[in-house]
């Protein structure tokens, strides 16, 4: 009986510690090829958002559920409608591509593995994208079209939309565009094909991170400071801090202070967050007392009052 209890406790402990180990694991090249195969041919602005959004799998799931609940919102309209939410910009950008976001939601393990690989092995991830693009180009599946411009920049193949504000996210089959798959034990995830949709028009609300292919790195744009001031005697100031997502740590509550405080962009955290209100001190103004000069007594009046005072005591 004791041995059974010990085994159960050991199994429970392993289940608790498993996520921490899985987040820090490294992925082999066959695993990276399989993970990147479904998205490597997308244009660089869209690819950077997919990789960044995959590091927030919970937010991807919530965004997909929100989009299902609001099917009337499409394209840029959906991106703008989600502005008040606390999701990172990369997740909001994917709202313009409902089919792609739905497939990421339907493949939670793939999304989590892709985000984990990008966090730990970003140079290898970007190098794998280039290797897959070279394979697709050799197969004749990657070339410039009316929608995309495929160019060679040094040793890198870059893909950009012909019109910067019109981005396509078509479905392609990894088992076709790359030729015969070369890792039998590691195969790409299979997504349900989706029908081609009209071009998605996106304006400046589409958040895009530049890709530095020479350094195999996606450039991190400086966090945007968002300040919301409450009109009234007390001001509430919030600042966004997307670094929280990279650190994956919950902040400790801070004491009230006159300086602005950080509110982190996480939906679950925001549910319990309470704004810290600056103390409003009312400064009291005291009017200085007016000091009047003593009135002059009549001549001899002082001696008369003194005599009366002595007589009263007697």
Tell me whether residue 46 is in a domain.
yes
Distances in Å between the Cα of 157 and the Cα atoms of 27, 108, 137, 229 are 23, 29, 9, 46
21 vs 236, which has greater pLDDT? 21
Contacts (Cβ under 8 Å, ≥6 apart) of 146: 162
Of 78-82, 177-181, 239-243, which has the strongest mean pLDDT? 177-181
Tell me whether residue 51 is in a domain.
yes
Buried b (16+ CB within 10 A) or exposed e, 130-157: bbbbebbbeeebbeeeeebebeeeeebb
Query: pLDDT (tens digit, 9 = 90+) per residue, 226-285?
Result: 332 333 333 323 333 444 344 443 333 433 333 333 333 333 333 333 333 333 333 444
Domain ranges, residue 78: 23-218
Contacts (Cβ under 8 Å, ≥6 apart) of 301: none
Tell me whether residue 235 is in a domain.
no
Nearest alpha carbon to residue 174 among 153, 191, 154, 150: 191
Tell me whether residue 212 is in a domain.
yes
Tell me whether residue 279 is in a domain.
no
Tell me whether residue 146 is in a domain.
yes
Tell me whether residue 210 is in a domain.
yes
Tell me whether residue 37 is in a domain.
yes
Q: Residue 3 — pLDDT band, cuts 50, 70, 90?
A: low
Q: Residue 225 — pLDDT band, cuts 50, 70, 90?
A: very low
What's the whole-model pTM score? 0.65
130 vs 260, which has greater pLDDT? 130
Q: Residue 151 — pLDDT band, cuts 50, 70, 90?
A: very high
Structural domains of the chain, count: 1
């Amino acid at each position: 009986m004791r041995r059974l209890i010990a085994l159960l406790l050991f199994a429970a402990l392993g289940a608790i510690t498993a996520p921490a180990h899985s987040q820090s694991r490294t992925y082999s090249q066959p695993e990276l090829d399989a993970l990147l195969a479904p998205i490597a041919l997308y244009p660089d602005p869209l690819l950077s958002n997919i990789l960044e959004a995959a590091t927030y799998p919970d937010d991807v799931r919530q965004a997909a559920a929100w989009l299902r609940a609001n099917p009337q919102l499409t394209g840029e309209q959906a991106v703008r409608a989600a502005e008040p939410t606390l999701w990172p910009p990369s997740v909001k950008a994917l709202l313009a591509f409902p089919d792609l976001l739905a497939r990421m939601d339907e493949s939670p393990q793939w999304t989590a593995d892709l985000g984990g690989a990008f966090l730990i092995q970003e140079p290898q991830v970007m190098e794998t994208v280039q290797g897959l693009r070279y394979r697709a180009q050799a197969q004749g599946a990657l070339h410039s079209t009316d929608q995309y411009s495929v160019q060679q920049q040094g040793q890198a193949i870059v893909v950009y939309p012909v019109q910067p504000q019109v981005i396509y996210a078509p479905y392609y089959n990894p088992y076709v565009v790359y030729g015969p798959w070369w890792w039998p034990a590691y195969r790409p995830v299979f997504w349900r094909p989706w029908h081609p949709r009209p071009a998605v028009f996106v304006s400046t609300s589409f958040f895009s991170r530049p890709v530095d292919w020479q350094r195999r790195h996606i450039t991190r744009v400086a966090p945007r400071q968002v300040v919301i001031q409450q009109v009234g005697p007390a001001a509430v100031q919030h600042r966004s801090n997307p670094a929280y997502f990279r650190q994956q740590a919950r902040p400790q509550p801070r004491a009230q202070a006159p300086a602005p405080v950080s509110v982190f962009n996480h939906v679950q955290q925001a549910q319990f967050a309470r704004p810290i209100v600056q103390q409003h001190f009312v400064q009291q103004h005291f009017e200085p007392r007016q000091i009047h000069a003593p009135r002059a007594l009549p001549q001899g009046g002082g001696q008369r009052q003194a005599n009366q005072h002595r007589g009263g005591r007697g």
